[in-house]
Amino acid sequence: MAAADAPAGSGGALPNWVMLERFIFRRDDPQSFREDKRTSATGETSVGAHFRISFILAEPPTPSRLYLSWPGGPKQEMMCHLVAAHRNLVLLRLDSFVDPSNTSPFGEMAHDYFIYYVAADPRSQAQSTPALRRLPGCTVHNAYFGRPIPIPFLPWGVGLLCCGEEFAVAYLSVGRRDPEAEALEVELRVLRSTVGGDSIDGGEKWEAKYLPIQGQDDVEGIDLLEWKTNEVVPFKNALLWVDYSKGVLYCEDVCGDSPKVKFNGFPPDYYSYHCYSSKHPSGFPELYRSLCVTEGGRTLAFLDVIRHDGADVGQMVPDTGFTIVSMAVTETQSAHSFRVEADDLWATPPLKDHLHEVMILPLLSMDDVNVAHFVLYDWADLSGKFKVSLVTIDLSTKRVVGSVVPYIDEGDVSTDDADLVKGKPNYFMRFLPAEFPKFLNLQ
> What is this structure's pTM?
0.90
Q: What is the C-alpha separation between 88 and 158, in angstroms, rounded?
A: 17
Q: What is the C-alpha separation between 210 and 225, in angstroms, rounded?
A: 15
The closest alpha carbon to 434, from 160, 54, 127, 121, belongs to 160
Please write the tens of the pLDDT for every residue from 362-404: 999 999 999 999 998 876 654 556 778 899 999 999 999 988 9
Please write the tens of the pLDDT for every residue from 12-37: 678 999 999 998 999 999 999 999 99
What are the boundaries of each domain within the chain?
A: 1-134+436-443, 146-265, 276-412
Pairing of strands 25-26, 65-69: parallel
Please write the tens of the pLDDT for every residue from 103-129: 666 667 889 999 999 876 655 544 468
Q: What is the C-alpha separation between 110 and 113, in angstroms, rounded?
A: 10
Asked if 249 contacts 213 with a C-beta cutoff of 8 angstroms, the reply is yes
Burial of 78 (0-12, 13-18, 19+ CB in 10 A): exposed
Q: What is the C-alpha separation between 297 and 87, in angstroms, rounded?
A: 9
Per-residue confidence in pLDDT tens, the chain, 443 aa: 555 554 444 556 789 999 999 989 999 999 999 999 999 999 999 999 999 999 999 999 999 999 999 999 988 878 899 999 999 999 999 999 887 777 666 667 889 999 999 876 655 544 468 999 999 989 888 888 788 888 889 999 999 999 988 999 999 999 888 777 778 899 999 999 988 765 555 568 899 999 999 987 766 667 888 899 999 999 999 999 999 988 999 999 999 999 999 998 876 555 444 444 434 445 788 899 999 999 999 999 999 999 888 888 777 888 888 999 998 887 655 457 899 999 999 888 888 777 667 889 999 999 999 999 999 887 665 455 677 889 999 999 999 998 899 887 766 555 667 777 776 655 567 899 999 999 987 65
